[in-house]
Amino acid sequence: MNDPSSASPFVPNADKFICSVLPNSPTKLISYSKGGLLLKPVANDLQVVTAYSFLLVVYAQYMQAANKVVNCGSVSASHSTLINLAKSQVDYILGSNPLGMSYMVGYSQKYPQKIHHRGSVNPSLDQHPQRMGCRDGDQFFKSDSPNPNVLVGAVVGGPAQDDSFKDSRYDVGQSEPTTYINAPFVGVLAFFNSNPSLVGKRKKSTKQRQRRGAEQAENDQRLRGPVVAEPPSPPEVLVGVGFR
């Protein structure tokens, strides 16, 4: 890839893609919400956000190795530009957004409680050992209560274009986690995890740290279940379960 003669048509097409995504590019084809989320006219927008973020960090590594910049008319982008854009999308997904909502289930204090996922909605065998018929799960789907099983790590479809979010099982586009949302996000997180110097840390005040600690303790207690004389089994925590 260091030889320009062997790069066609990959590099020119990749450069055009980058120019279509950058917020300040004169040839931008993508819009952004007021909160900073990349937008495409699809039902579950985070499938685009996670996929584009993955492409950004992959191409950024090539640009760095090739000592390359992307020229979009009057705007030039370095590999750092791409990484910063991808990081802004990761930050949004994990809670740096107008709602303060993490769209990864089980991450942070505020995350979707009523996701559209059969294994998360229906009670576990510990809680409901009786056989369930074909429509017996309807009562749990229609419940106003949070899902009994926390699908830790699952990223849902995400907010609407105005940064709003309906925490509702009925809104499949916003509340359903899918493999095609989560798979590229794993790659993006793996990149930042292996490059910790690229992840800025915000200094928190004492009050913020105390509030965060209290929120975490409350969240941990919710996951463990209520403390009573004979406590029921805690909510089932599902990790690595296939979506749908």
Candidate list 79, 116, 117, 128, residue with the active-site label: 116
Residue 35 has pLDDT above 80, yes or no: yes
Whether 116 sits among the annotated catalytic residues: the reply is yes
pLDDT value of residue 171: 80
Helix (H, G, I), strand (E, B) or coil at 29: coil
- The tokens for 8 are 């066609």
Q: What is the pTM of this model?
A: 0.77
Report CA-CA distances (Å) from 130 to 125, 138, 142, 225, 241.
8, 15, 20, 21, 22
Instruction: Give burial (CB, 10 Å; 0-12/13-18/19+) of 242.
Output: exposed
Q: Stretch 196-224: mean pLDDT, rounded?
A: 57
pLDDT tens, position by position, 45-56: 999 999 999 999
pLDDT tens figures, 81-128? 999 999 999 999 999 999 999 999 999 999 998 888 766 766 666 776
**Do 1 and 7 meet the contact criterion of CB atoms below 8 Å apart?**
yes
The three-state secondary structure class of 65 is: helix
Q: Delineate the domains of the chain, giving CATH numbers in brackets.
A: 4-224 (1.50.10.10)
Residue 209: per-residue pLDDT: 46
151-169 confidence digits (pLDDT tens): 899 999 999 999 999 998 8
| pLDDT-based confidence at residue 17 (cuts at 50, 70, 90) | very high
Residue type, 132: M
Amino acid at 91: D
pLDDT for residue 44: 85
Task: Report how far residue 164's alpha carbon sits from residue 214's, in angstroms, rounded to the nearest whole number.
Answer: 26
Q: Record the tokens describing residue 238, joined without a space.
A: 């599902």
Q: Are strands 70-72 and 75-77 parallel, antiparallel or unpaired?
A: antiparallel
